[in-house]
Amino acid sequence: MATSPASSSSSFAALPTSPASGAENLRRSRILSSKLYFDVPRSKVPVIYTSSYNITFLGIEKLHPFDSSKWGRVCEFLIKAGVLRKTQTVEPLEATNDDLLVVHSESYLKSLKSSLKVSILVEVPPVAIFPNWLVQQKVLHPFRKQVGGSILSAKLALERGWAINVGGGFHHCSAAEGGGFCVYADITLCIQFTFVRLNISRAMIIDLDAHQGNGHEKDFANDDRVYILDMYNAGIYPLDYEARRYINQKVELVSGTNTEAYLEQLDKALEVAKINFDPGLIVYNAGTDILEGDPLGRLKISPEGVAMRDEKVFRFAKERNIPLIMLTSGGYMKSSARVIADSIINLKQKNLIDLTMLPSTS
C-alpha cells in the first residue's frame, strides 16, 4: 500500500508478516478454527441481519446521534415493501474472543471490561456508570453480532456475487484502538478471514461514508494486497492525518458538497480505481451520513443521490464480475433507514441484486 511506515500505535500493522512467524501462525489457526463461516441454505438471500444488532439500553442510546435501531428499521421497510421476507435473512454468529484476537490484542479486548472505556469509544458518557456485564450484554454483544455478519458476508458474496450486512462498517476502529462509535475492526477482520479461508489475494475497500475510514487505513498501511479508495469530508472527524498517508486513492470533499458534484467525483474515482487495481473482493462501506441534514457528515446529498451512489458501486463490481459486500456504517438521522431500504430496492429493480430464493439442489 502506502510507502509510509506503519503507525507504532497499530499493533496489527506491527505484527510480523512472515508466514513462519508465531504471531501469523496463531492468527491463521484462529481463522481456520472459527465458526463464523457456515453454509447458508439456498432458501436464504445474502442479506445478513438479526434483531440482536439493535441497541436498546434504558434509553441512554438516544444520547448519541446514531440511530441504534436503524438496522432493524431497514429490514422492516424492506419487508413492508414486499421485497424481502423475514425468513430469508441470514442470522450471523457472534464473534468470539478468539475471532476478535485475529486482529485485536488481548490488552485491548481486556480494556473493554471497563465500562468507562466503552463509554468513551461509543461516545455516550452515562454508559460508564453501569456494571460491565450489562454493558457487554446491551452494547458489545450487538457489535460482536455485526462483526460476525461482516465476516460471513464475504463468504456469501463469493458464493452469490454480492452480500449486504445490514450492520457493520466500523471503520474508525483499528486493531489497536476503537473510537467514534466503533469498538471492533470488522472490516480488517473480514478481509483477513478472506485471505486465509477464501483464497482471496487482493481486496479493495471503497469507503464512501462521510468520515475518513482511519481504522482500516492504519491496519493495512503496509499491505499491498489491499487497495483503499476513501471519499470523505476532509474537515470533520477524525482528522487523522497520519492515516491519510495510507490511503491509495484519496478524494477529499468539503462541507456542503452537493449531489451533482459528489456523483461526478465518484465517477472519476471509480474510473481511476478500475485502472489501478484488480481485486478479488470489494468491501463497500456505504455510510448514509452523506445525506443533507446529517449533523455530523455536513454534506448535501439527496436520498436519490445515495441510491445512485450505491448503484454506481454495485455496477462497478458487477461489470467486472467482482464479489462485493456492502456494510451500512454511519448515518445519524432517522431518515437513514428508509434511504438504505429504498436504495436496496433500487438495486433490485436495476437487476444488480437478486432477492429471490435459489432453487433447491435436493
The set of catalytic residues is: 172
**Residues pairing with 182 in the sheet:** 179
